[in-house]
Amino acid sequence: MLRKYINGTIGFVKLGQDLDRSPKALMRMFSATGNPQAKNLFEIVAYLQKLEGAAFKVVDRAAA
């Protein structure tokens, strides 16, 4: 889902430029067989949140 979001918004070329990463490496990371490290995933999600002016929040409904 994140791959489709990136493709539909800024694209992997711009994302790679802004994060100083290879667009091809980012595309592989978000492919069906990709396995991004948590550090990389959180960095990209944080960047996209800042870009969009949005904030994601994880809530444990079982604890509520």
41-47 average pLDDT score? 93
Structurally, the chain folds into a number of domains equal to 1
Query: Is 70 exceeded by the pLDDT of residue 64?
Result: no
Query: Is 57 a member of any domain?
Result: no
30 in a domain, yes or no? yes
pTM: 0.78
Q: Is residue 12 part of a domain?
A: yes
What is the residue range of 39's domain?
Answer: 2-52
Report percent pLDDT > 90 for the chain: 70
**Phi and psi dihedrals of 10, rounded to 5?**
-85, -25
> What gap in Å lies between CA 38 and CA 49, rounded to an integer?
16
Q: Which pair of tokens denotes residue 52?
A: 């969009």
Whether residue 61 lies inside any domain: the answer is no
Kindly state whether residue 18 falls inside one of the protein's structural domains: yes
Q: Tell me: the pLDDT tens digits for 2-31?
A: 999 999 999 999 999 999 999 999 999 999
